[in-house]
A and B are shown apart, each in its own frame.
Chain A
Amino acid sequence: DSGVTQTPKHLITATGQRVTLRCSPRSGDLSVYWYQQSLDQGLQFLIQYYNGEERAKGNILERFSAQQFPDLHSELNLSSLELGDSALYFCASSVDLADTQYFGPGTRLTVL
């Protein structure tokens, strides 16, 4: 157990819908990262936050947004969902940007 929690574990929804994925970092970690794992794209970096501020963006679609709250938990919002958004979404956290990232168990999103 890495200490990073993600909810829900599984999410099944329909095209066009909007969902929110939640991540709680390890105690003491200020940085949160989101990654997407799909069969065709592999593991890809989406976005990172440090102490509430966005620090870097990767291959994140405009339909996706995220934020990190004052209590340091983070949410990833996915809207206007498409079949291709079906994937495993991981959250990771670290003490700071130079530290090792520890991954949560992931949220498996299925878009029907």
Chain B
Amino acid sequence: AQSVTQLDSHVSVSEGTPVLLRCNYSSSYSPSLFWYVQHPNKGLQLLLKYTSAATLVKGINGFEAEFKKSETSFHLTKPSAHMSDAAEYFCVVRGATGGTSYGKLTFGQGTILTVHP
């Protein structure tokens, strides 16, 4: 079975400073990994996805993530935080191709990002 662990439940940064949200995955196959963002009282929006192409994935709003197989990590970064980035971020892994859970998304517990002026 696949799983993801988000290493920080809360991250606080100042506006204009870098953002790092950490995620480790566990999977017995080459995983498909995603980052979704949830703003307060809103639905989930896809930030970026990794599906075994380039290991450095660029997403929306200046976010990017790097797939590191040796470290089983998929950390989300942004060079400069903006106030509008304040939200909850979820690292997600998708069920294996052809398996009974194919298509099923497994979510991490979420990281709440706070951005201070």
In Å, the complex CA distance between A32 and B34 comes to: 18
In Å, the complex CA distance between A101 and B95 comes to: 13
Asked if A11 lies at the interface with its beta carbon under 8 angstroms from chain B, I say no
Interface string of A72-97 (1 = CB under 8 A from B): 00000000000000000010101001
Within 8 A of A (CB), among B1-53: 34, 36, 42-46, 49
Chain B residues with Cβ below 8 Å from A55 are: 102-103
Q: Which of B34, B102, B104, B110 has the most CB of A within 10 A?
A: B104
Knowing A2-B45, A98-B97, A103-B43, the reply to whether A42 touches B103 (Cβ < 8 A) is: no
CB distance from A106 to the nearest CB of B (A): 5
**A interface SS class:** strand
Interface string of A53-65 (1 = CB under 8 A from B): 0011010000000
Total number of A residues with any Cβ neighbor in B under 8 Å: 25
Chain B residues with Cβ below 8 Å from A56 are: 95, 100-104
Q: B104, A90: Cβ atoms under 8 Å?
A: no
CB distance from B78 to the nearest CB of A (A): 21
Chain B residues with Cβ below 8 Å from A90 are: 43-44
Query: Which residue of chain B has the shortest Cβ distance to A106 in the bound complex?
Result: B43
Knowing A42-B109, A43-B90, the reply to whether A33 touches B103 (Cβ < 8 A) is: yes
Q: B103, A97: Cβ atoms under 8 Å?
A: yes
On A, residues with C-beta under 8 Å from B are 2, 31, 33, 35, 42-45, 48, 50, 55-56, 58, 90, 92, 94, 97-98, 100-106
